[in-house]
Structure 1
Amino acid sequence: MGEARHVKLFRNGRNQAVRIPVEFELPGDEAIMRREGDRLVLEPTRKRGLLGLLETMEPIDEAFPEIEDQPPAPEPIF
């Protein structure tokens, strides 16, 4: 596991908050938070688009069928 640092939790209105030390700063002004068991994982948001979408998807365990890749039939040129 990477670097670790003890931090304090505090209240911000009705929310619990934590100050992120400078060495752990994330780019941008938004992040994604998720719970993994007893852990909270905080990740920077990625640029939207196909690559960002593909990164969020789970791999497919199914095998793809074999496809006979034939070249297209020639078309007459006039």
Structure 2
Amino acid sequence: METRTTRVFTNGNSQAIRIPAEFRINTDRVRISRTEAGDLVIHPLPAQRGSALMQTLQALCEVDEAFVAALEADRNDPLPMQEREAM
């Protein structure tokens, strides 16, 4: 496992950590937790694609709760792995 030392700084009332380029993540949200040993663990969260569109549709009453629940269930139920022939 690769490790690096980096800076911790204050940003307003929060602490921030500079993430080196080789550890860059492709999301704007993370879940952070602390292990029993006191280590911080950062888990990137998937992007909330389409959330602005869903909010707009809901504001216009174009979708109902059943539609939203069906979309969320579909997102949480991954498709099975496809079997393919080796070439």
TM-score, length of structure 1 as denominator length = 0.56
**CA shift for structure 1 position 50:** 1.6
**CA shift for structure 1 position 26:** 1.0
Gaps of 5+ in 2: 48-71, 79-87
Judge conservation of contact 2:7–2:18 (CA < 8 Å) in 1: yes
Runs in 1 of length 4+ with deviation above 6 angstroms?
none
Per the alignment, residue 76 of structure 2 pairs with 50
Letter in 2 for 1:16: Q
TM-score, length of structure 2 as denominator length = 0.51
**CA shift for structure 1 position 11:** 0.4
**CA shift for structure 1 position 46:** 3.3
Per the alignment, residue 40 of structure 1 pairs with 40
**CA shift for structure 1 position 9:** 0.7
Per the alignment, residue 28 of structure 1 pairs with 27
Per the alignment, residue 13 of structure 2 pairs with 14
Larger radius of gyration: 1
Distance 1:15 1:27 in 2: 22
**CA shift for structure 1 position 51:** 4.6
More strand by share: 1
Distance 2:3 2:21 in 1: 13
